[in-house]
Amino acid sequence: MRSFKTATTTVALLLFSLFPFSPTHSQTVYSAGSGIWNASGLWNTQPDGSGTPVTNPDDPAVSAVVQAGHAITLPGSADFSVYNLTVENGASLSAGSASNRYVQVFGPQVLVDGLLGGDGLSLDIDGPACTISGAGAIALSRIKKDLDAGAANTTNLTIAADVSLSWSASASLLNQASPSNAVRRTFNVTINPGVTVSVSGDVSIDGINGATNNAWNDGLFTVDGLLDISGNLYVNTANPAGGNIGYSIGNSGRIIVRGQVVGNSGSGGAATATLTVQSGGALEVTGAGDAFAAFGGGREIVSFNSGALADYSGPDQNIEPGFTYARLNAGGGDKYLTGATQVNGMLSLSGGFLITGDYDLNIGIAGSITGGSASAYVLTSGTGRLTRQVGSAQVLFPVGTYTGYNPVILSNAGTSDQYSVRVADGVFGGGYSGNLLTSALVDKTWVVEEGVPGGSNATMTVQWNGFDELPGFNRFACSLHHFEGDWLPGAEGPAAGGDPYTRTRSGIQSFSPFAVAGNSVLPVSLILFSGRRTAEGVVLDWATGSERDNAFFAVEKQTGRPVFREIGRVSGAGRSDQPVYYRWTDSAPANGLTFYRLRQVDLDGTTAYSPVIAVAPSTGEDAGFILSPSIATDRLRLDFSQSPETAIDIHILDQNGRIAGRIPVSRNAMAVSIPVAQLQAGLYFLSWKIGGVPYFARFIKA
């Protein structure tokens, strides 16, 4: 603020704050050289210096022009007022320090063809309308509407030139003009097409973060260019009723938020906050975790109009479920659904997995998907499904699990319908449950459902990888089986393709689990396999539901991945239609995390392998680290006593020893947060090495 030295002007200042006015332009002054703003005779009423010298043009009715070749800095800690501000080509105006120093602009123009800022210089926009333009460099600390004497109630700012704002401690583009919640101050900002505004801090319309209850700051920020925010975008307000705030991203506009988009939940006030993305506009969020925070309070509205884009481009991000997306980009790392999610337009997949957990991802009737591949697909890690409309044309469901990409292609010659698809590792004798089948098939179950039962005449193609095939599977004589109380085979024939492979079945009129297998009866059905440490060693228990020509089981152990070695044999029952129980003890177990499997051998020498189980280390699980909590639903925290000297990977292993996730850890990190919400409930292990020393820990996902 300016310093007013007389009692008369002090009273005037009070009146100005109560009854704002718009100053009338009285004159223009020009710099006569370089120096401090208020240096004696530094300004003149004529460009050539032939007019009246002016010492300090600190007046909301006076325009200031910094002429070519002149460098002006602000003195001390004072702020200065002008009507219009011009910085010519080859000229500069700066604060002279890193501290925030303000030029208060009351007129319609800030024209910069030279350099404005480069340090703590900031602008207060106080008039009814102002445009920032020019071909120069504008590197300010902040732009805001403030509580300045003589400021207009409503200010409309147009930014027509690229601007960077370096203030990062809080909001650097904001409205902070209201003195109380009974006095309304409005700040409307428009960023023109082709213009980039880069903000190191936050953007807020209601104060620094929309959380105050003692002011009424409202307005609309319209972005037709690019607004790149390193901090947070506050879509929240504590204004009273009628003091709504809003952001609008136009059809050529884009907002990038590298922090969080913060909603109204938990804030006071009665006003609403809106964020509207128009057709052709884009909102990009890059921050990890919850890119949208404090949403769901009922006083924020986020709208993606038809053709608008929501771009999640950061690593390990949670998709906000409370929106209806027109277009959704999921790239740059894994994404996690945190609720049922609707995409009415295009879903674009690139560079990571979209992990469903137990939530459905629904693509609208007119929607589409691009980019499904082995490196970018919908990972159905729980009961969550991918739902799409299917008619006579082929429709791709780009789904898979943590172990690989296993898409489905559907077409329907019957009644067009919404179909839901998920894929899971393993095949059960009872379709959804029962005995785990361990040989002569592809180790995947595709669960397909139709929205309205009946009226379908579908053709389905499923895809798998060579490593998905269990021992005994013959890809030259296989079929797509459908579970209808029992596994019913389709027409047998060779798989198509060459790793990956596909198999197709036509005439499907009902839906449930599907699997790929040969058409012969499986010889052994394994219903149990577990291991535990005792004083005598590691005790392994397993059971079969039925056996055909079972000669023996070979027990195999793995202490250093990936090689298994045989450590014992147990004779089989030969033939049985009843459960048979087996036990074998490894009397020389390793101390570390150990993996076991069974190799089942028939009388004719045919072999099949069981799932792999993991037995936890006997001692030292907590040596060198602390893992908490031991039972987790969302995240784990792993603290190291010895930080890694190089970047490492922590692998999440399931009970079968399969990798269920990978967490990169930077060098010298002393702790890491590990997301586990995407995992199915069960026992898991963490495995990593520091300095060549292996470490293991176990936890339970609830």
pLDDT of residue 337: 95
pLDDT of residue 54: 95
Section 209-235 average pLDDT: 93
Provide the mean pLDDT of the chain.
89
Cβ atoms 182, 162 nearer than 8 A: no
Residue 81 β-bridge partners: 104
Section 266-285 average pLDDT: 92
Which pLDDT band, with edges at 50, 70 and 90, does 440 fall under?
confident
Section 321-340 average pLDDT: 93
Section 334-339 average pLDDT: 94
The backbone torsions φ and ψ at residue 537, rounded to the nearest 5 degrees and listed phi first, read: 140, -155
pLDDT tens string 665-689: 888 888 899 999 989 887 788 888 7
The beta-strand segments (E) located in 377-425 are: 378-379, 386-390, 395-397, 399-401, 404-405, 408-412, 417-425
Classify strands 444-450 and 513-517 as parallel, antiparallel or unpaired.
antiparallel
Which pLDDT band, with edges at 50, 70 and 90, does 562 fall under?
low
Q: Inform me whether the pLDDT recorded for 17 exceeds 90.
A: no
Give the span between the Cα atoms of 232 and 266, in whole angstroms. Answer: 16
Q: Inform me whether the pLDDT recorded for 620 exceeds 70.
A: no
Classify strands 648-653 and 625-628 as parallel, antiparallel or unpaired.
unpaired
Of 16-20, 32-36, 298-302, 653-657, the least confident? 16-20
pLDDT of residue 132: 99
Q: Inform me whether the pLDDT recorded for 695 exceeds 80.
A: no
- Residue-wise DSSP of 26-60: -EEEEE-SSEETT-TT-EESSTTS-S-EES----T
Q: Inform me whether the pLDDT recorded for 434 exceeds 80.
A: no
pLDDT tens string 373-400: 999 999 999 999 999 999 999 999 999 9
pLDDT of residue 20: 46
106 — alpha (psi -120 to 50), left (phi > 0) or beta? alpha
* Domains of the chain with CATH codes: 1-167 (no CATH), 417-517 (no CATH), 524-615 (2.60.40.10), 625-701 (2.60.40.3080)
Which pLDDT band, with edges at 50, 70 and 90, does 604 fall under?
confident
Q: How many CA atoms lie within 13 A of 168 on its CB side?
A: 10
Question: Kindly report the CA angle at 239 between 237 and 244, in degrees rounded to 5?
Answer: 70
Cβ atoms 426, 406 nearer than 8 A: no
Cβ atoms 181, 142 nearer than 8 A: no
3 state DSSP class of 75: coil
Cβ atoms 248, 255 nearer than 8 A: no
The backbone torsions φ and ψ at residue 15, rounded to the nearest 5 degrees and listed phi first, read: -65, -40
pLDDT tens string 446-480: 999 999 999 999 999 999 999 999 988 889 999 99
DSSP 8-class letter at 436 = B
pLDDT of residue 561: 52
Instruction: Find, among 176, 181, 175, 129, the residue nearest to 152 by Cα.
Output: 129
Three-class secondary structure assignment of 343-357 = ECCEEEEECCCEECC
Section 281-309 average pLDDT: 91
Q: Inform me whether the pLDDT recorded for 484 exceeds 60.
A: yes
Percent of the chain surpassing pLDDT 90: 63
Of 44-58, 238-252, 561-575, the least confident? 561-575
Of 91-95, 321-325, 527-531, 557-561, the least confident? 557-561
Task: Starting at the earlier edge strand, list the strands of the sheet with 417-425.
Answer: 324-325, 341-343, 361-363, 386-390, 417-425, 444-450, 513-517, 479-483, 487-488
Give the span between the Cα atoms of 409 and 342, in whole angstroms. Answer: 21
Q: Answer with the residue of higher pLDDT: 7 or 554.
A: 554
Residue 563 β-bridge partners: none
Section 165-188 average pLDDT: 94
pLDDT of residue 9: 33
pLDDT of residue 312: 96
Distances in Å between the Cα of 87 and the Cα atoms of 102, 138, 180, 242, 509 are 16, 10, 35, 39, 74
pLDDT of residue 552: 95
Q: Inform me whether the pLDDT recorded for 633 exceeds 60.
A: yes
Residue 487 β-bridge partners: 483
